[in-house]
A and B are shown apart, each in its own frame.
Chain A
C-alpha cells in the first residue's frame, strides 16, 4: 500500500472514529470484565502498608519459623494435573512469621 492510500485510509478512519465515538455511548466494549470489586487497601502505612506493619506478625513470630513448604499448595495443583512433585530440595531462607 502506498503512502497516499494509507493516509487516505487513516483520515477516513479518524473521521469514522470521531463520529462513532461521539455518537456511541462511551463505555467498555463487549466482553470486558471488571478486575476488582472492592476498594483495594493503600500500600503505605505508618511504618506499614494496609496493615503491612510487619510488626503484626511480631506477636506470633516464632524464631524457629515455618519451614519453606517445598510443594506449592493451592489451585496450581489443579493446573499441574494434580502433580505434587517437589519444587525445591532445600530451604532458601527461613520464615519469620
Chain B
C-alpha cells in the first residue's frame, strides 16, 4: 500500500470508536506482520494512545466540567468530540475549542443546560493562559494618536482576551468547582452574567463587567472604528462613561498595541 494511502487509512482507523477496530483491521492485511498478537490488538494500542491522550487533553483543559459531571461521564463525550473533530494542529494548546458547541448539541447534556457556558468560560481561561505575549496599548500610545483620526481608529483586543455573557451564575459555579464555596446558587433566575477573562503578565484573570462595558467591548470587536463603537454603545447605554472605560481597560492591558 502506498505511504499516503496507508496513513490515511490508519488515521481513519484511529478516529473511530474502539468497537470498530476489529472490523477495520483486515484492510491492513498484507501491510502489517501477522504474528502471535493480532493486528487488531496492536492497532488497539495505537487507538488507545491517540484517543486516550487527546481525551486526557480535553479533560485537562476542562477541569470544571469534570468536577461538575465526573470523569466517567465526561470522557466518553470527549472521545466522541475527538472522533468528530480531530486536532488540526500539532500544537495541542489550542485543541478543544468548540467543545461547548458540541455539548450544547449533545442529548446527554439536555438536563445540564449550563454546561456549555461553563465550557465556554474554561476555554476562555485556557486560551488566555497559552496566548502569545503580545504588547499592550498604553495610555501614552493612545495619546499619541492625533485627535482628528481618533474616531477613525480601530482598537484590537490582545490575543488573551475573551468576554462572555450567560444567564447562569458562572462565577458561583466556578467557586464551587474550585472548592471555594459550598453555596448552591439559584439556577432558576437569569443571572445576566458578563465576564471578561484575560491574561496580564503571567496571571489569567476573571472580572465581572457592567452591561455597558460589555457592549462597548463587543462593539469595539464588531464595529470598524472607535467612533462607531462609541456611538452604538451610547444608543443602548446613554450613561456610558467612555473616559472611565478607557482608563480601566488601559490599566487592564486588554488592547493590542497599534
A-facing residues in B205-256 (Cβ within 8 Å): 205-208, 226-227, 230-231, 234, 242-243, 245-248, 250-253
Q: Is the CB of B45 within 8 A of A58?
A: yes
| B52 contacts A21, C-beta separation under 8 Å | no
User: Given A54-B50, A55-B52, do A21 and B92 touch, yes or no (CB 8 Å)?
Assistant: no
Residues of A65-97 contacting chain B, CB below 8 A:
65-66, 68-69, 71-76, 78-81, 83, 85, 87-88, 91-97
A17 touching B76 in the complex, CB below 8 Å, given contacts A28-B252, A29-B252, A75-B177: no
Please state if B60 and A9 are interface contacts (CB–CB under 8 Å).
Answer: no
- CB pair A87–B60 under 8 Å, yes or no, is no
Which of B2-10, B29-37, B137-145 lines the interface with chain A?
A: B137-145
User: Would you give the shortest CB distance from A24 to chain B, in whole angstroms?
Assistant: 6
Determine whether the beta carbon of A32 is less than 8 Å from that of B142. no
Docked-complex contact A29 and B251, CB < 8 angstroms = yes
A43 to B250, CA, bound (A): 31
Taking A17-B243, A55-B49, A73-B73 as given, write out 19 further A-B residue pairs in contact, using a Cβ cutoff of 8 Å, ordered by the A residue number: A3-B227, A14-B143, A18-B140, A18-B250, A20-B139, A21-B247, A26-B251, A27-B200, A28-B203, A29-B207, A50-B56, A53-B53, A54-B52, A54-B55, A78-B184, A88-B108, A92-B108, A93-B18, A97-B52
- Which chain B residues border A93 with CB–CB below 8 Å? 17-19, 76, 79-80
A-B pairs with lowest CB-CB distance, top 8: A54-B52, A21-B139, A72-B69, A17-B246, A18-B143, A20-B247, A54-B53, A43-B92
The listed residue (B48, B207, B231) touching A58 by CB distance below 8 A is: B48
Q: A28 to B184, Cβ gap below 8 A?
A: no
Is the Cβ of B57 less than 8 Å from the Cβ of A49?
yes
Question: Which residue numbers of B lie inside 8 Å of A, CB to CB?
Answer: 17-19, 45, 47-57, 60-61, 66-70, 72-73, 75-76, 79-80, 90-93, 95, 107-112, 114-115, 125, 128-129, 138-140, 142-143, 145, 147, 150-151, 173, 176-177, 184-185, 187, 197, 200, 203-208, 226-227, 230-231, 234, 242-243, 245-248, 250-253
A8-23: CB near B (< 8 Å → 1, else 0) gives: 0111111111111110
Instruction: Please judge, given known A-B contacts A52-B56, A97-B52, whether A14 and B206 are in contact too, CB under 8 Å.
Output: no
Give every chain B residue within 8 A of A96 (Cβ-Cβ): 18, 47-48, 51-52, 79
Q: Please, how many residues of chain A have a CB less than 8 angstroms from a CB on the other chain?
A: 73
**Subset of 17 A-B contacts with CB under 8 Å:** A17-B139, A17-B243, A17-B247, A17-B250, A20-B251, A21-B142, A28-B207, A32-B207, A33-B206, A43-B60, A45-B53, A50-B60, A55-B49, A69-B72, A73-B70, A97-B48, A97-B75
Q: Is the CB of A49 within 8 A of B111?
A: no
**Centre residue among B48, B66, B79, B173 by max chain A CB count within 10 A:** B48
| Beta-carbon contact of A87 and B48 below 8 Å | no
Asked whether A79 lies within 8 Å of B68 as measured between CB atoms, the reply is: yes
Could you say which residues of chain A place their CB within 8 Å of the CB of B92? 43-44, 49
Q: Which residue of B lies closest to A23 (CB)?
A: B139
Kindly state the separation between the CA atoms of A12 and B41 in the bound complex, as whole angstroms.
Answer: 71
Residue contact A79 to B114, C-beta cutoff 8 Å: yes
Q: Report the minimum CB–CB distance from A97 to chain B (whole Å).
A: 6
B205/A35 in contact, CB under 8 A: yes
